[in-house]
Structure 1
């Protein structure tokens, strides 16, 4: 691998933030060890993670007034040829200034001294489930659109990663895949075998280092056995379930994978119920279970980062609890580093 994702209990976070003040959001992202460019959907609908991923995607119908993102098969057919002609143009796959208030500002910063930096893009499975065509059908079911979508999103990830690596050679990407937890429900209609094949093929096209972030509870065996360098999860909510996958976790860590343990909740009510000892206790309980099942402690610590558990856009106090959660993650990481790395 050209780049190494740092572990050793450094901190990062998910990029979706409730802020409407761009400077303040960027300051918060930079307050963590591994910063990222924030996505600010409350600032502009362009910053919605699905809208950002849809930039230049043929067939997309974006209505800024109604805040809707749709797909038209007819428009796709009209626009596909031009899109394919531009498939070697990085500009088509990058995030424009219209679609992110902060991405280009982040790229203008001197980030070389950071242990790493991170970018992100909505993943193809979630994008495909979320975007509906003229018949209210998710585009993931369209055998014409889906292969193109996988190629398109891989290209978007690679273009962004190349830009980030110019600022810091240890840059890496999260593929945000909240939709993965629905794959394993009988209702999905797009089964896990099909998804595994598609994701395997997708990741062969995505430059390293790359990984998946999700807040839900998918089939962890499925995820841990994909060819990923990093997996970011909400362990605050899924602690007991995740701890039962020791065999796959061990394999993931043994081949050099990094786990980002999302441990600090960002919702007002949940955050207020916790304090540092309670969250440390919850995390270390999971760790102890895994160590008792034969996972090497030092290897796991070396392959671990900490983050908030989830994003949160709906708090009544807007960004305040989220900012407190970021600060708490830094404090917890400091305490854990003193304990396990001193």
Structure 2
């Protein structure tokens, strides 16, 4: 599937809403809608909990709302995973773990060119969840390869289910942990991550997309075999755009960049408007254009998105919804130039 940019709007999966219908309405207001993840609605909707369904060794405490890992439990449940490896139902996102996913697929999505799903990525999953000794499960060598293969299998089945409903479906992975691997204290080197990620992407079905809100080694990401890179350029664009040669090569390969531009944090949003958002994009895009990246190519291979998810605003979903409306106005400005 060849992806078209043209400054279409999309967004990350996590929303602060507790009302499913309002969350779906907001998602469907985007050019590329997605099934929402609503951790405030239910802990089942937390992205780490959702992906963990049937992963051996995982312990989810719904009362305390935390998730952990046990190596002993991993060994006890490992054979069950292997025995069910070829069974799509085993890897399917069940209604218990996401009401929104199934509600989204029941809707009429025929008016959209693309629709998107998402999973937490393997690096983030492996770094986030700790065992009883506070050790990330990705540091258990016998577990690490299973994490990557498990996420790839989950993504494969999610995409299959979505493709039954819409031919323009794709799934990307959220990878906040990719920023962490470049910190010396993690013990998981970028060389190791690169090998693991290349292997993971070979198993990744459909267009290969990664989203993150942090500031990783952009060269590392832009040189991966990705079709989509989604980034928070509101915060990190002044750094990201300086990787001009890598961006140029990424676009020449046909990649889509999802430029996360409109802020969702209340204090940041209140300082911005359509004019300032356009100015921020123009600064980055003009720099790339002067570095040899044609403006037409930037626009034709660009999606626009909010800068990041946000669950901390005291106004709940209000600022997030304003950010989506601002995004649509910025998008319309650029669509008129294409």
The residue that corresponds to 2:335 in the other structure is 337
Please, which runs of 5 or more residues in structure 1 have no aligned partner?
A: none
**Structure 1 residue 333: deviation in Å?**
0.3
Which residue in the other structure is 1:305 paired with? Answer: 303
| Pairwise CA distance, 1:167 | 2.0
- 2:53 paired residue number: 55
Alpha-carbon distance between aligned partners in 2 of 1:239 and 1:229, rounded to the nearest angstrom = 19
Deviation at 1:238, TM superposition (A): 0.6
Alignment of 1:280-295 (within 5 A): 280-295=278-293
User: C-alpha deviations, 1:48-100, integer Å up to 9, x for none?
Assistant: 11111111111101100011100111111111101111111112212111111
Contact 1:8 1:305 in 2 (8 A): yes
Q: Is the 8 A contact 1:6 1:116 kept in 2?
A: no
Of the candidates 262, 267, 270, which is equivalent to residue 268 of structure 2? 270
Residue aligned with 1:279, SS: helix
Matches within 5 A, 1:118-133: 118-133=116-131
Deviation string, structure 1 residues 254-303 (Cα, Å, up to 9, x no partner): 11100000000000110001111011100111000000000121112111
Structure 2 counterpart of 1:5: 3
- 1:217 maps to 215
Conservation of the 8 A alpha-carbon contact between 1:208 and 1:229: no
Q: CA deviation at 1:134?
A: 1.9
* Structure 1 Cα separation of the partners of residues 20 and 108 of structure 2: 18
Separation of aligned partners in 2, 1:83 and 1:203: 21
Q: Indicate which of 59, 65, 68 corresponds to 2:66.
A: 68
Of stretches 169-178 and 231-240 in structure 1, the one that deviates more from structure 2 is 169-178
Q: Any idea what the Cα deviations from partners look like across 1:109-146, whole Å, max 9, x if unmatched? A: 22133110000000000000001012110011111001
Mapped partners of 1:170, 1:248: distance in 2: 28
Alignment-derived partner of residue 172 in structure 1: 170
Aligned mates of 2:36, 2:321 — CA distance in 1: 13
TM-score computed with the length of structure 1 as normaliser: 0.97
Cα deviation code 1:146-192 (max 9, x no counterpart): 11111110000111111112222221111100011111111110000
Q: Distance in 1 between matches of 2:70 and 2:312?
A: 30
- Can you give the 5+ residue segments of structure 2 that lack an aligned partner in the other structure? none
What stretches of structure 1 move > 4 A for 4+ residues in a row?
none
Q: Where does residue 242 of structure 1 map in the other structure?
A: 240
Q: Which residue of 2 aligns with 1:117?
A: 115
TM-score w.r.t. the length of structure 2 is 0.99
Higher mean Cα deviation, 117-126 or 155-164? 155-164
Q: CA deviation at 1:235?
A: 0.3
CA RMSD of aligned residues (A): 0.8
* The one of 164, 181, 185 aligned to 2:179: 181
SS in structure 2 opposite 1:119?
A: strand
Q: Which residue of 2 aligns with 1:253?
A: 251
Q: Secondary structure at the match of 1:144?
A: helix
Per-residue Cα deviation, 1:317-336 (whole angstroms, up to 9, x for no partner): 00000001111111110111
- Equivalents in 2 of 1:316, 1:5: separation in Å? 37
Distance (Å, rounded) in 1 between the aligned partners of 2:165 and 2:204: 19
Q: How does 1:75-224 map to 2 (within 5 A)?
A: 75-224=73-222
Check if 1:321 corresponds to 2:319: yes
